[in-house]
Amino acid sequence: MFLGDPARFADSKALASYVGMIPREYSSGGRQRLGGLSKQGNPLLRFLWGEAGAHAARKDPELQRFYRRKLVQKGLGKASVAVARKLGIRLWIMLRDQIEYNEFCRRGQKQQKSSDACVGMPENAVWCEKSPAG
């Protein structure tokens, strides 16, 4: 509805830039300063990413750990935006590769070997149903 064809984004940075989930930059000379969100793109989509990120941080153990780590490092606002951006990029990967969330989790576990992105998720959740083979 808002993104169109996911293949039109070269990478996750291009997607985050399109949505406006990147920092505003104030640079002069050799000094680079990053500010708040650039707020370019669709404000409704940015809002929905934020809401979905807040919900996912409560339900998905991996995102919950990520949120808590960012909360300690950066504070409440930046942690919320980081989770929203991470979830939005996950959704873009799922759309681009035409996979479901359980396949996304499986791929992540193959790469990290110890990831438990779907552990703790409800068994009846469409995005984390266990495959018959697994």
Is position 90 within any domain? yes
Is position 80 within any domain? yes
Q: Compute the distance between CA of residue 9 and CA of residue 92 in angstroms, rounded to an integer.
A: 9
How big is the CA angle at 105 (ends 101 and 109), to the nearest 5 degrees? 170
124 compared with 118, residue with greater pLDDT? 118
Is position 114 within any domain? no
**Whether the predicted pLDDT of 128 surpasses 80:** no
Kindly report, residue by residue over 70-123, the tens digit of the pLDDT: 999 999 989 999 999 999 899 899 989 999 988 888 887 777 664 455 555 555
Is position 72 within any domain? yes
Is position 126 within any domain? no
Is position 104 within any domain? no
Q: How far is CA 54 from CA 74, 79, 80, 114, in A?
A: 16, 10, 7, 24
Kindly report, residue by residue over 8-40, the tens digit of the pLDDT: 888 888 888 888 888 888 888 889 888 888 878
Domain count, the chain: 1
Instruction: Give the model's confidence band at 58: pLDDT under 50 very low, under 70 low, under 90 confident, else very high.
Output: very high
**Whether the predicted pLDDT of 129 surpasses 50:** no
Q: Which two tokens stand for residue 63?
A: 């995102």
Is position 134 within any domain? no
Q: Which two tokens stand for residue 58?
A: 């409560």
Please give the residue range of the domain that contains residue 76. Answer: 6-98
Is position 107 within any domain? no
